[in-house]
Structure 1
């Protein structure tokens, strides 16, 4: 089965993690307020969605409670969808997630997309006193439990959407098939996952026509790459190095060597830490088209801010993504 060409209706969104590293000027409180301002501005400029992530014990203050922040963003926006990419499902009670997500959905008048995944960092599991055993099956089960909890006889108040879309942040063919078996949207924009996802839908008794894919790309868009590369490259390097360093924390793996940003921008998409596109709106739009191909991708989001950037750089990027990149793909 061939899906509808995604570029006929591909929505572009923005992604925030609220890092406040030492090289950034301003307090963490200021950063949270400014990010809400950027959410409101992106909504005004027509962004299709706004996404927030979850990590714990990062040394730069990475966002820990994406649904709480999504509730704040809901109060500052009117049109953009609000998503979590991702909420670490095995750390949380299904009832807790169901109630918090319902509240965000009510505040936003039905604009929440709940993205969940397994997580991968040992310190986060230890912080919550949780086991990382069977984390994929436990994440699958949360999808089922959330659907039950949002139905009649479940938690109150109920959400606006019945049910709230629960996206699975799974990678690779096995993860894509798992999402398909559950009939859940798949939180990746990579067309390589479409065949396994489609097969899972069929095996799970779901009509492939219900397929929905979407997700983040590592990219920065600029109208003047030559001017901006020396300014942006150090922040890209910091962000990727931070992820790689925290990824091995609590394991026996050695600390990774620092990345070379110049090499990241020349690579095709793969592991999120293996590439980071940089270029004009036209260049990035073409790379996104190549990534999603004919898969049923409905939304793609890019970083709004990278590695503790100054406010002026973030504001300019939000403007370029919303007013220059989005129209090329919409």
Structure 2
């Protein structure tokens, strides 16, 4: 089996319920396995909590700058929460991380919760106005001809690639016309993903190559029943977190399956082919959320590589 043109990343979970150093050590070990398996990138989400939570941390650019010296993989945010950022400051910080990583940074951006409006340096503006302003000011700060540049400038001329997340037509249109691509979250149903892919592609200007990334919990085992049983235990905490907020499988109809990549290599290959058929170009594999065994995550990478779902060819023990 070969899923061809799809590119793969690893979405890393780092939370505030445990000390960070051992979490980073586990993540760095996972990234070494991911690199061997042919994964291209590492992605971090962002959250601001009033009490410790299993995921995510604030300020992912800080953590990505730490990882930049420890992995050759590309770096991405999936996603930054736009309401938490002053556009000018984000332009400087992202440009600096792009310099530190020698041009390996991609910025995925979403609005974030309404409660972030006017806090942490972000402007108190309506969502659409705020994110449009942010995208415009980032581009302007990174342009070679700008009168108010970010210094140092990004490593890559024009700055990091920008992906936009969100539900609905406005998000898809913004991703197609004001950014470089679209980013779909872990908890978006496959039904919502396919709809957003179609909306994005409908808005994409003629001649521009599409870029659609999706984040998915992933567990592969030779036996499909064993994979489902392991996933129930490995992903229970993160799924319950979304369920408790009414945010799991957003946009699904009754009877729709969970929005994850779980099963045998053959089952997962078929799902990836469906994604590619909808227009997905990048899949971020969320392998090690809080509660998932490390060896299950590395075994998933080994099996996906051995069955040509990833480019690497490690030996399966």
Shift in CA distance, 65/129, structure 1 to aligned 2, threshold 3 Å = closer
Between 1 and 2, higher relative CO (CA 8 Å, sep ≥ 6) is seen in 1
TM-score relative to the length of structure 2: 0.80
Shift in CA distance, 312/156, structure 1 to aligned 2, threshold 3 Å = same
Higher helix share: 1
Distance 1:302 1:225 in 2: 18
Aligned CA-pair RMSD: 3.2
Shift in CA distance, 317/60, structure 1 to aligned 2, threshold 3 Å = farther
Cα offset, 1:175, TM superposition: 1.7
Cα offset, 1:183, TM superposition: 4.7
Give 2:113's aligned residue.
Answer: 120
Of residues 27, 40, 43, the one that matches 1:35 is 27
Cα offset, 1:192, TM superposition: 2.9
Give 1:87's aligned residue.
Answer: 80
| Contact 1:281–1:321 (8 Å) recurs in 2 | yes
> Is 1:239 the counterpart of 2:228 in the alignment?
no
Cα offset, 1:94, TM superposition: 1.5
Give 1:177's aligned residue.
Answer: 173
Of residues 252, 256, 268, the one that matches 1:267 is 256
Other structure's SS at 2:11 match:
strand
Other structure's SS at 2:42 match:
strand
TM-score relative to the length of structure 1: 0.77
| Contact 2:176–2:203 (8 Å) recurs in 1 | yes
| Contact 2:164–2:179 (8 Å) recurs in 1 | no
Shift in CA distance, 88/267, structure 1 to aligned 2, threshold 3 Å = same
Cα offset, 1:110, TM superposition: 1.3
Give 1:304's aligned residue.
Answer: 287
Distance 1:115 1:299 in 2: 13
- Total equivalences in the alignment: 294
| Contact 1:221–1:278 (8 Å) recurs in 2 | yes
Other structure's SS at 1:64 match:
coil
Pairing 1:192-271 to 2, within 5 Å after superposition: 192-201=195-204, 206-245=205-244, 247=245, 267-268=256-257
Which consecutive unaligned segments of at least 5 residues does structure 2 have? 185-189, 313-317
Of residues 4, 26, 30, the one that matches 1:8 is 4
Of residues 159, 162, 168, the one that matches 2:157 is 162
Distance 1:158 1:313 in 2: 41
| Contact 2:183–2:214 (8 Å) recurs in 1 | yes
Which consecutive unaligned segments of at least 5 residues does structure 1 have? 1-5, 248-255, 269-273
